[in-house]
Amino acid sequence: MRYLIYILIIFFPFLQQDKELKFIRAFESEGDFFRTDALNNIYVVNKRKVAKYSISGEKIAEYSNSSLREITSIDVSDPYRLLLYYKDYNQIVFLDKTMTALYSPVSLDDLGINSVGAVCSSNNSGFWLFNNHAQQLQYYDKNLEPMQQSVNLSLIIQTASLPEVLLEKKDRLFLSYPDTGIIIFDKNGSYNKFIPLKRIYSFQIAGNKIIYYKDGLVHKYDFEFFTDDYYVLPDTSNIIDVRMEQQYIYIFRQNNISLYQITDL
């Protein structure tokens, strides 16, 4: 088995040599960060506003809340139930596919949680968060009742930093500490494994792959076989982030988004 993994590590990076990136279009959209969903919708966050675009670059809708400050993060894993987190006010807002609030903002202070490292939506209509004080992952259901929690993570990982990204994907949770790596948990918040990928501030999960952009490459890291595949981007100037959905790669810069299609040579 050890030799099989070694062979994969040697040859796997070259498996994409039969692919190329075909430029499709670019459109203007100013923002601080962006996300894409499985339906190829694009969400651009600019301070207090988030705008939703189609794959053709047409603006579909937007949302802003004048009573809250800047949007800290957005989870679009479920295109029909988006999660916005406002760190300054320690509140969560859920939106439907039309970018309309589903109900009043959820105050985490009212739940007794006043320091949060990261938040993500859950397939079970609730949400997960990392409680900085308790050093735990905690799950709240749609009625805002606490249902699951992890052990104190200081027993698992030794770091002085706090996590920055939390994602749920197909009964797994992924928690990223940029200076240390990514911890994977099962759907109940129980520890599964540790992946030593450092300085990852934005990533996606597709099957058993962690997709992220770093040093001019779009990586597809297999956390089951510990191999790394990648795509070389044609222009890496001023890139803020990159996303991948099916056969498309989205490149986000401060003032525009470029779309490429992955095709066979």
3-state secondary structure of 225: coil
Q: Tell whether 212 is covered by a domain.
A: yes
Amino acid type, 20 = E
Q: Tell whether 43 is covered by a domain.
A: no
Q: Tell whether 217 is covered by a domain.
A: yes
Q: Tell whether 245 is covered by a domain.
A: yes
Which residue has tokens 């095709």? 263
User: Considering its fold, how many domains does the chain have in total?
Assistant: 1
Whether pLDDT at 264 is above 90: no
Confidence band for 160, pLDDT divided at 50, 70 and 90: confident
CA distance 10 to 179: 26
Is 103 or 15 the better-scoring residue by pLDDT? Answer: 103
Confidence band for 18, pLDDT divided at 50, 70 and 90: low
CA distance 185 to 64: 33
Q: Tell whether 68 is covered by a domain.
A: no
Adjacency order of strands within the sheet including 106-107 = 73-75, 82-86, 91-95, 106-107
Whether pLDDT at 15 is above 50: no
Task: Give the structural domain span for 240.
Answer: 1-29+202-265
Contact 85, 71 (CB under 8 A): yes
Query: Which residue(s) pair with 212 in the sheet?
Result: 219
Confidence band for 120, pLDDT divided at 50, 70 and 90: very high
pLDDT above 90 covers what percent of the chain?
84
For the chain, give the mean pLDDT.
91
Q: Tell whether 100 is covered by a domain.
A: no
For residues 77-98, average pLDDT: 97
Instruction: State the pTM of this model.
Output: 0.91
* The pLDDT value given to residue 81: 97
**Per-residue pLDDT reduced to its tens digit, 121-149:** 998 899 999 999 999 999 999 999 999 99
Q: Tell whether 98 is covered by a domain.
A: no
Confidence band for 4, pLDDT divided at 50, 70 and 90: very low
Q: Tell whether 34 is covered by a domain.
A: no
